[in-house]
């Protein structure tokens, strides 16, 4: 549990999340592959590739021949606010504010009256080329102040947030123009004029914590989807070898539709599958037919104050196991459900089921988007959580452990289809 909290705290942006996992892969003996070079893969080898600093794919080459891919996919991004290129808004009345825009479908209210800062990366001009550098301004730098109830009597009765004014963070009073650029440069260890580009977002300063009468809850920023990203990663590292190629994929931009080169609608996963098959002399279509994917993205637990939003017979609880997600916007069907259920039985992990209340559309995720590029039997799963897309979300303390347990069994297995039967080895 502490390991998950540490990962969340050290990953204030998607770039930090990818870098933290990358460092762990290096430590575990994984070799970095360059997408722009030929790949030579050896049996027993461990590899990873990073795309755009915000997406990552890691895999191992089995010593045994023949089976397909065992893939997990989760996402590195979370709803937040992106700092615009011309970041400083001067005034009114001597205030200095940051010009931001929404990224993803966030709940606005939780962002107000909380200490915030910025995190992400800047692209720095160096003698050796343009270098991405991680940035985390490690101080209470920003806050988005509420309007007093005396001036906005509608604040508690269905207020509509206007992103261009209500969600603008305050940074200073009487501060000089150029202060923000200087702070970013300082955090990146460069001169302000050497910054050629930025990818910075707001983040909450509040650290993750365990709470509740028995310590049964866990609250932190970015649980969706770094909790699943972490659980799948631990399972990937801990699993024993099978005849299959285990693949861990962390993709970006799920919160804005995945349609980028580092997103699930890009080619990272299909390129990896393609190139592994080519390097090992395998038939791609045969390998993909004998593959299975777990698309892991958090699910909705029944809300204590609003249980009516859940379907009558699909009511996931926190600390009660993995949630299989069903519905037209998910990749799960009976076949995928059956394989994953068999796997969880093998792992001794409880499963529960989510289906939208029939008059609600619900959310979507990266399973079916990814399927359009690498068409493998896919199940959508998640961990039950409250307040999805708040900047401080809540989950059960036991569920991430269940995910590790299930994914360890998943990555130690292989999958094949024969005359319509699905077989887990």
Q: Which residues bind Zn ion (CB under 5 A)?
A: 224-225, 297
Q: Which is nearer to Zn ion, 166 or 252 (CB)?
A: 252
| Cα distances (angstroms) measured from residue 277 to each of 27, 65, 269, 274, 280 | 26, 12, 12, 5, 5
Minimal distance in Å, beta carbon 153 to Zn ion? 35
Minimal distance in Å, beta carbon 183 to Zn ion? 30
Cα–Cα nearest to 289, from 200, 115, 380, 419:
419
Q: Alpha helix (H) ranges present in 109-256? A: 179-188, 223-238
User: 314 φ, ψ to 5°?
Assistant: -125, 95
Residues 57 and 48: their CA atoms lie apart, in Å, by 6
Helix, strand, or coil here: 110? helix
Minimal distance in Å, beta carbon 1 to Zn ion? 21
Structure tokens at 295: 């698309």
Q: Which is nearer to Zn ion, 225 or 380 (CB)?
A: 225
Q: Which is nearer to Zn ion, 33 or 264 (CB)?
A: 264
Q: Which is nearer to Zn ion, 15 or 180 (CB)?
A: 15
Say if CB 113 and CB 144 are below 8 A apart: yes
Report the Cα 87 to chain-centroid distance in Å: 26
Minimal distance in Å, beta carbon 391 to Zn ion? 14
Helix (H) or strand (E) holding 96: strand 95-103
Residues 97 and 87: their CA atoms lie apart, in Å, by 8
Minimal distance in Å, beta carbon 102 to Zn ion? 16
Minimal distance in Å, beta carbon 56 to Zn ion? 17
Q: For residues 43-56, b (16+ Cβ closer than 10 Å) or e, as one string?
A: eebbbbbbbbbbbb
CA angle (204, 24, 32) in 5-degree steps: 115
Q: Which is nearer to Zn ion, 20 or 385 (CB)?
A: 385
The two beta strands, 55-60 and 46-51, are: antiparallel
Q: Which is nearer to Zn ion, 166 or 224 (CB)?
A: 224
Say if CB 277 and CB 344 are below 8 A apart: no
Q: Which is nearer to Zn ion, 297 or 380 (CB)?
A: 297
Q: Which is nearer to Zn ion, 104 or 192 (CB)?
A: 104
Minimal distance in Å, beta carbon 317 to Zn ion? 19
Residues 174 and 325: their CA atoms lie apart, in Å, by 51
Residues 138 and 205: their CA atoms lie apart, in Å, by 9
Torsion sign (Cα): 31, 35, 38, 44: positive
Minimal distance in Å, beta carbon 225 to Zn ion? 4
Q: Which is nearer to Zn ion, 78 or 408 (CB)?
A: 78
Minimal distance in Å, beta carbon 103 to Zn ion? 13
Longest dimension (CA), the chain: 74
């Amino acid at each position: 549990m502490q390991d998950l909290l540490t990962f969340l705290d050290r990953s204030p942006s998607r770039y930090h999340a990818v870098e933290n996992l990358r460092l762990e892969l290096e430590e575990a003996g994984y070799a970095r592959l360059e997408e722009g070079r030929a790949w030579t893969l050896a049996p027993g080898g461990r590899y990873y590739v990073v795309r755009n600093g915000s997406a990552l794919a890691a895999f191992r080459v089995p010593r045994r021949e023949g089976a397909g891919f065992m893939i997990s996919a989760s996402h590195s991004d979370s709803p937040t606010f992106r700092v615009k290129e011309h970041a400083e808004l001067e005034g009114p009345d001597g205030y200095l504010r940051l010009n931001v825009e929404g990224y993803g479908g966030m709940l606005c209210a939780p962002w107000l009256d909380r200490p915030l800062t910025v995190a992400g990366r800047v692209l720095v001009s160096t003698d050796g080329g343009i270098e991405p550098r991680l940035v985390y301004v490690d101080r209470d730098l920003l806050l988005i102040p509420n309007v007093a109830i005396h001036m906005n009597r509608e604040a508690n009765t269905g207020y509509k947030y206007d992103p261009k004014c209500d969600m603008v963070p305050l940074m200073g009073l009487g501060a000089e123009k150029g202060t923000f650029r200087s702070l970013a440069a300082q955090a990146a260890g460069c001169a302000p004029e050497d910054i050629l580009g930025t990818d910075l977002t707001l983040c909450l300063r509040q650290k993750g914590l365990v709470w509740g009468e028995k310590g049964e809850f866990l609250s932190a920023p970015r649980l969706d989807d770094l909790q699943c990203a972490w659980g799948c990663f631990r399972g990937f590292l801990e699993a024993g070898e099978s005849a299959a190629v285990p693949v861990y994929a962390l993709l970006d931009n799920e919160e804005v539709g995945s349609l980028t080169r580092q997103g699930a609608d890009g080619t990272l996963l299909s390129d990896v599958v393609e190139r592994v098959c080519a390097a090992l002399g395998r038939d791609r279509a045969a390998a993909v037919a004998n593959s299975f994917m777990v698309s892991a993205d958090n699910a909705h637990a029944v809300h204590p104050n609003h249980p009516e939003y859940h379907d009558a017979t699909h009511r996931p609880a926190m600390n009660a196991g993995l949630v299989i997600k069903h519905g037209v916007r998910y990749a799960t069907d009976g076949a995928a459900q059956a394989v994953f259920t068999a796997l969880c039985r093998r792992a001794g992990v409880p499963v529960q089921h989510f289906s939208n209340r029939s008059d609600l559309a619900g959310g979507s995720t990266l399973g079916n988007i990814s399927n359009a590029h690498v068409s493998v039997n896919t199940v959508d799963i998640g961990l039950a959580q409250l307040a999805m897309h708040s900047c401080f979300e809540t989950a059960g303390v036991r569920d991430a452990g269940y995910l590790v347990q299930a994914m360890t069994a998943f990555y130690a297995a292989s999958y094949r289809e024969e005359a319509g039967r699905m077989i887990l080895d």
